[in-house]
Structure 1
Amino acid sequence: MPESAPRRRPLPLIGQVGGGRSRATCRLRCGDACFHPAPNTSDNPYFGDVFATALSRRTALRAGAVTAGAGALGLSALNPAMADPRGPSRPHPSPRPTFKSVQPNTDDKVTIPNGYDQHVVIRWGDPVLPGAPEFDVHHQSPEAQARQFGYNCDYVGFHQLDDDHALLWVNHEYTNEDLMFPGYTDGDSATEEQVRTAMAAHGGSIVELERDGRTGKWVVSKGERAFNRRITADTPIRLTGPAAGHELLRTDEDPGGTLVRGMLNNCAGGMTPWGTFLTAEENFNQYFANGSGSAEARRYGLGTGSSGRRWERFEKRFDLAENPNEANRFGYIVEIDPLDPGSEPRKHTMLGRFKHEGANSRLAEDGRVVVYMGDDERFDYMYKFVSAKKYVEGSRRHNLTLLDSGTLYVARLSGDSPAGEIDGSGALPADGEFDGSGEWIALCTDTESFVDGFGVAEVLVHTRLAADTVGATKMDRPEDFECSPVTGKVYCALTNNSAREPGQTDEPNPRGPNRYGHILEIVEEGSDAAATAFSWSVPLVCGNPEDADTYYAGFDKSKVMPISCPDNLSFDKDGNLWISTDGQPGSLGINDGLHVMPVEGRFRGELKTFATVPVGAEACGPFITEDGRTVFLAPQHPGDDGSFEEPTSTWPDGDMPRPSVVCIWHKGGREVGR
């Protein structure tokens, strides 16, 4: 190995569990989705054998991409790299990350590079709202938890108010009652107080922060904290868009079909150009009991028996035998206005209903808003929404209506290599890369459906079935999307798919089984986000770089770090891609972490590890501040396979595991990554 290459510890060989997570996380996060047959049983074809059409299309697309100007990128003003939503902050080639990689480990801490420091910003149970008690694990209550920071933080959003004050938004995806409550056994014996405490620990938090001195350290504000807010599984949330009020969304509790109590299993998210947070409801199906067994219910993974947490024992809205439409009211993108603590959150039916993972936006050339979304399930799809109306800078009232009308699309991809060259082994085809072309297929506008047999509301409530009908491409768990602030290219994290057989592989999903995941890079035609055609490539095929089936954009694999199960994505102001992971313990035998990789220039593919998280935790977030001086990271479910009495992690305070948000900064005041 060359002297300049990073030193890697041997990766332990351990058994694969589901998609790489621990058994406990699989059960609690997604209801053991990977241990059940994939809900997508459609016969949509795999597209490796349509390379001839793809090749001609790809040639045209790439010619258009080369001539596109940087001024047409139209990225969100809240992207950390952007001061202007219509232009990059600096040209490529971007500066290369120069920190020394953190080595793979199984340590029970957040490990960061030399020269950096860290601070736990906020933990599960810390006070958020006025009057909230200090956390006492032996005296929990729904009333206290509804005013305290919730459990299992995932997506992190950051809205800077001025140089030294900001609002932090954090999703609270799900709860692990085994770690929360002393003596907890199972849902059947859980008390009503425990169930309602867990419900209050879901949702999200807005917390006001202030900068500590002139460093990259941020702390919970000591001031009035007027913007602080908790959203739970009971918070009233308004349904908006074309499906709002439709009979599929009406219940006895809400006969108008426009007002839902709570949001569930909020995973990733995004930010809008007008300063709101988007949060994504993902594995909502696991909270409901006694599904009908219909095709619609099966497609969304709704079971016919009891739920795992047994919330239906105390809340009949979770019993589908009594309230058959309640599940139709979950699985949406929810918009939160951080500047108006009294405003109603809104579930946007126009963005479709599925297991949402992420919702990141940019502006099209003509000013319309485009939102990219993934459906985090094996063999499910990638989506895009394009607004009907245009973004108007400074017109907050107008902009808050932009996600209620427009067009919802789903992606169909084609490879440009012969099918015989994609054999499932991960070996590159003859042209040297996995690449091809694609199209965005319109499902509906707010007034017209393009799917036979579906009205507009049916498309938006049963989006998966509508996408099945039009022949969308089955992907390997599409999770977070992120747009480069420098090039305008779009990246999607495809976490893994251990159920994909070698005979089911295609060029966009070239490995089967795909235990380690990969990254997809998309170039919209003409670099216009509203385009209905695109080219794509795979710059990263994850795993142990010493294995033949991995690919790091052609970079020397002796000089990169291992990575598995990419989950959330972010960009720094230089256009380097930051990747957090969820599943490295089960797939590589090492803790999950936060990695960074240039995606342009001569160092494209040089992946380094910036941080690793504690035992059992996944690396959520991440978010890099606009000045580039701070990374926020949210280690979720530390010690996930332990119990209250026998914890397997004691991070962050040395006594019990508490999901938390950490900020990391360079001691010398440099931008992170330097």
Structure 2
Amino acid sequence: MTITDIQLLPMADHVRGKRSPVTCHFKCGNACLGPECNTSSNPAFREIASAALSRRALLGLGAAGAVGIALAAATPTGAAVAAPGGGASGAPGGLLFDAISPVPKIVDDFTVPAGYTWAPIIRWGDPLFSSVPALDFDNQTPEAQAGQFGYNCDYLDIIADRSGRTGVLVNNHEYVNPGIMFPPTSDTAELDRRAAIFKAAHGFSVVELRRSKLGRPWRYLVDGRRNRRITADTVFELTGPAAGTDLVKTAEDGEGRWVKGTLGNCAGGTTPWGTVLSGEENFDGYFAWAADTAGQKRYRATPSAKSTYTFERIDPRFDAHDAGFVNEPNRFGWIVEIDPEDPSSTPRKHTAMGRFKHEGANVIIAEDGRAVAYMGDDQTNDYLYKFVSKGTYDPKNTPVARRKNLGLLSEGDLYVAKFAGNSPAAEITGTGALPADGLFDGTGQWIPLTQDGESVIPGMTTQEVLVFTRLAADTVGATKMDRPEDVQPNPKTGKVYVALTNNSSRTLATIDEANPVTGNRNGHIIELTETAGQSGTAFGWSILLLCGNPAVDQNTYFAGFPKELVSPISCPDNVAFDSEGNLWISTDGAPSKIGFNDGLFKVPLEGPERGRVQQFLSVPREAETCGPVIHDKEGMVFVAVQHPGEEGTVGAPTSYFPDYVPSHRPDTGLVAAPRPSVVQVWRA
């Protein structure tokens, strides 16, 4: 497979900053180039849906409804020169650091502040079991990959046990890049063999950790008690109202309750009861896609003869043109839940939480004891959602309480957000200039799509609302957002932070106060405050950051903090919090006019330094920063480094992260190809 084979050139003039056309192709199937999935002008859509389209025609239920059917230490990197105004930050005993300067996008280095060092915990291809070989770059097999750490790590958590010296690492694997995993070939049999390896490289890795004491680096254990690989062939259980209905039955699963695999897993969250959630995001690219009904087109606007990885050549369920598998895409696009404590447990997909291109889900316990999950639909002009459980959380550490809590996400109500600004429309100019009151802010409502577990959308059943959630949200006038990615409540304050990565298609005709920048290539962060309790339906909001490089982007905004004293930041993707309630942001895309490597940034949310963006680390060339975990009391930070050197090839790598060996050395287990890895950073 070559670069021309996968037709990357159409994206070459579309991407900006350091985002690679390779990333666009393999991660989301060049979604930005295709026709807009959300063609609704929300009020008008209600009239169309009621007057011109029957429910079955709209959702395409005619035919579909009838289907019965061992760790290599990296050389510590010297710090970049401290950024202007980037004085030491952090509480005593916590993460004291001088903000680093941005790192140019051609630099293949992992950069940390002075006084810190780094090393990978685990890399693509590292074995989880003694029966599995270490990565042999020239002799990869599906069987080996199914027992090795997967590719392109994204959501991450490091969950320490009570002692603090043992724990577990949980990480998902979003997608793969054939061009730097294998040399080019046109041999059909070999391409099919590689497709089986790609399937095994998706999913999750769960690995046991050990360390000598708090604040010291972790090492992973081969054959750890909790070690587990979940792949594109692992069986998941569907839960909730859509499970067992005709919309999710296939020729292979006549019950509509057991789904093979999880795909396109992006961000996630760890629940108060200890399980890990992950969002199935760009699932559509894994299928040869029919896209001949409104329900299908709302997830992929155009049909496709083949999938991104041609899985349909080795597994018929990925061919949605086949009548027996027309519903297979409906079995993806969910929030999945795994139990890292029990490697024998069956992971689940929760239909009550809706189906869309989930970035992830993050749970907080509301004042009334119910579990509330916040979720973003990561596509241009799609929506922000909230799920409120029917049951209440039991904090007791007993088997009975755990069983109860494991069912919380199977029943509940789903909401979508509608924003309203409080400034005159004439003051929202599209440039990012603040309105007269000095803030982009306003109020909002959570509009129900289901109540008491039942549909409240006229003409749509509960199962239809949950399987075709985007269509349901269109009908209630939800606000089109600039790619809502990670959405997380601050555990100290309950305020919710929404990462809006970018939206280059935002026009002057479609701006609003919550999305106020035309051609928004740098993205922004919204701070949302629930005004009727965490499980209520009213909220206030304001824009915390309008991202960009203040040196070249005039109308950046950093919560009022002086622009000349901040680190440039663009394309916020994942967010996290430290023990003090500070916001940490990882990025996927460099500032648009000066190409920098992606990084991790700290942002205080209270006091005189509110809005002061400070860069903590930078990832290597062509990589994305994912899944930040902040253990500031120990002076430790963890990130997943995704797609390093993605524009290179096997013959001409553009990154050697994380081992930095210049040639292939099978005798040491090190390979010249870049390896997506989980990295730990600690005070030297």
Q: TM-score band (shorter)?
A: 0.7 to 0.9
Say yes or no: does 1:389 pair with 2:394. no
Q: Which residue of 354, 358, 361 corresponds with 1:359?
A: 361
Whole-angstrom CA distance in 2 between matches of 1:581 and 1:557: 19
Aligned to 1:638: 644
Aligned to 2:39: 41
Report the CA distance between 1:423 and its aligned residue.
Answer: 1.0
Q: Residue 207 of structure 1: SS of its match in structure 2?
A: strand
Mapping of 1:211-610 within 5 angstroms? Answer: 211-221=211-221, 224-301=223-300, 303-322=303-322, 323-393=325-395, 394=397, 395-445=401-451, 447-526=453-532, 528-546=533-551, 547-584=553-590, 588-610=594-616
Q: Is the 8 A contact 1:15 1:586 kept in 2?
A: no
Aligned to 2:119: 119
The residue type equivalent to 1:531 in the other structure is G
Q: Residue 520 of structure 1: SS of its match in structure 2?
A: strand
Aligned to 2:59: none
Mapping of 1:195-210 within 5 angstroms? Answer: 195-210=195-210
Moved more, 392-401 or 175-184: 175-184
Report the CA distance between 1:310 and its aligned residue.
Answer: 1.2
Report the CA distance between 1:624 and its aligned residue.
Answer: 1.5
Whole-angstrom CA distance in 2 between matches of 1:370 and 1:579: 22
> Structure 1 residues 496 and 20 mapped into 2: Cα distance closer, same or farther (>3 Å)?
farther
Whole-angstrom CA distance in 1 between matches of 2:642 and 2:43: 36
> Structure 1 residues 586 and 134 mapped into 2: Cα distance closer, same or farther (>3 Å)?
farther
> Structure 1 residues 326 and 292 mapped into 2: Cα distance closer, same or farther (>3 Å)?
same
| 1:563-584 per-position Cα deviation (integer Å, ceiling 9, x unaligned) | 0000000000011100000011
Give the percent of matched residue pairs that are identical in Structure 1 and Structure 2: 53
Report the CA distance between 1:184 and its aligned residue.
Answer: 4.3
Q: Residue 333 of structure 2: SS of its match in structure 1?
A: coil
Q: Is the 8 A contact 2:214 2:634 kept in 1?
A: no
The residue type equivalent to 1:183 in the other structure is P
Q: Residue 215 of structure 2: SS of its match in structure 1?
A: coil
> Structure 1 residues 114 and 553 mapped into 2: Cα distance closer, same or farther (>3 Å)?
same
Say yes or no: does 1:193 pair with 2:193. yes
Aligned to 1:133: 133
Whole-angstrom CA distance in 1 between matches of 2:601 and 2:312: 40
Q: Residue 449 of structure 2: SS of its match in structure 1?
A: strand
The residue type equivalent to 1:278 in the other structure is L
Q: Residue 135 of structure 2: SS of its match in structure 1?
A: coil
> Structure 1 residues 320 and 265 mapped into 2: Cα distance closer, same or farther (>3 Å)?
same
| 1:352-395 per-position Cα deviation (integer Å, ceiling 9, x unaligned) | 00000120010110110000000000000000000011001121
| 1:9-50 per-position Cα deviation (integer Å, ceiling 9, x unaligned) | xxxxx976169621000000000011112200010279xxxx
> Structure 1 residues 410 and 143 mapped into 2: Cα distance closer, same or farther (>3 Å)?
same
Q: Is the 8 A contact 2:18 2:622 kept in 1?
A: no
> Structure 1 residues 658 and 184 mapped into 2: Cα distance closer, same or farther (>3 Å)?
farther
Aligned to 1:69: none
Q: Is the 8 A contact 1:425 1:502 kept in 2?
A: no
Q: Residue 358 of structure 1: SS of its match in structure 2?
A: coil
Say yes or no: does 1:153 pair with 2:170. no
| 1:586-630 per-position Cα deviation (integer Å, ceiling 9, x unaligned) | 664110000111011110011100000000000001011374432
Q: Which residue of 20, 23, 28 corresponds with 1:22?
A: 20
Q: Is the 8 A contact 1:445 1:456 kept in 2?
A: no
Whole-angstrom CA distance in 1 between matches of 2:416 and 2:356: 12
| 1:115-151 per-position Cα deviation (integer Å, ceiling 9, x unaligned) | 1111110000000134111110111100000000000
Q: Is the 8 A contact 2:215 2:634 kept in 1?
A: no
Whole-angstrom CA distance in 1 between matches of 2:152 and 2:212: 25
Whole-angstrom CA distance in 2 between matches of 1:471 and 1:239: 29
Whole-angstrom CA distance in 2 between matches of 1:111 and 1:18: 23
Aligned to 1:663: 680
Aligned to 2:180: 179
Whole-angstrom CA distance in 2 between matches of 1:552 and 1:45: 34
Aligned to 1:169: 170
The residue type equivalent to 2:382 in the other structure is D
So what's the TM-score if we normalise by structure 1?
0.87
Moved more, 647-656 or 25-34: 647-656
Q: Is the 8 A contact 1:38 1:377 kept in 2?
A: no
Q: Is the 8 A contact 1:45 1:473 kept in 2?
A: no
Q: Residue 508 of structure 1: SS of its match in structure 2?
A: coil
Q: Is the 8 A contact 2:420 2:442 kept in 1?
A: yes
Q: Is the 8 A contact 2:117 2:681 kept in 1?
A: yes
Whole-angstrom CA distance in 2 between matches of 1:377 and 1:265: 13
> Structure 1 residues 94 and 551 mapped into 2: Cα distance closer, same or farther (>3 Å)?
farther
Whole-angstrom CA distance in 1 between matches of 2:650 and 2:43: 47
Q: Is the 8 A contact 2:499 2:525 kept in 1?
A: yes
Whole-angstrom CA distance in 2 between matches of 1:643 and 1:516: 28
Report the CA distance between 1:217 and its aligned residue.
Answer: 1.3
Whole-angstrom CA distance in 2 between matches of 1:111 and 1:185: 38
| 1:51-93 per-position Cα deviation (integer Å, ceiling 9, x unaligned) | xxxxxxxxxxxxxxxxxxxxxxxxxxxxxxxxxxxxxxxxxx9
> Structure 1 residues 178 and 550 mapped into 2: Cα distance closer, same or farther (>3 Å)?
same
Q: Residue 584 of structure 1: SS of its match in structure 2?
A: coil
Whole-angstrom CA distance in 1 between matches of 2:377 and 2:212: 38
> Structure 1 residues 152 and 109 mapped into 2: Cα distance closer, same or farther (>3 Å)?
same
Q: Is the 8 A contact 2:18 2:597 kept in 1?
A: no
> Structure 1 residues 392 and 251 mapped into 2: Cα distance closer, same or farther (>3 Å)?
same
Whole-angstrom CA distance in 1 between matches of 2:319 and 2:272: 38
| 1:392-431 per-position Cα deviation (integer Å, ceiling 9, x unaligned) | 1121000001001111000000000000100100000000
Whole-angstrom CA distance in 2 between matches of 1:386 and 1:182: 48
Whole-angstrom CA distance in 2 between matches of 1:405 and 1:31: 32
Whole-angstrom CA distance in 2 between matches of 1:220 and 1:399: 29
> Structure 1 residues 209 and 409 mapped into 2: Cα distance closer, same or farther (>3 Å)?
same
Whole-angstrom CA distance in 1 between matches of 2:240 and 2:209: 33
For these two proteins, the number of residue pairs brought into alignment is: 605
The residue type equivalent to 2:678 in the other structure is V
Whole-angstrom CA distance in 2 between matches of 1:646 and 1:326: 38
Moved more, 302-311 or 197-206: 302-311
What stretches of structure 1 move > 4 A for 4+ residues in a row? 93-98
Q: Is the 8 A contact 1:350 1:446 kept in 2?
A: no
Report the CA distance between 1:665 and its aligned residue.
Answer: 1.2
Q: Residue 360 of structure 2: SS of its match in structure 1?
A: strand
The residue type equivalent to 1:651 in the other structure is F
Whole-angstrom CA distance in 2 between matches of 1:481 and 1:184: 41
> Structure 1 residues 587 and 194 mapped into 2: Cα distance closer, same or farther (>3 Å)?
farther
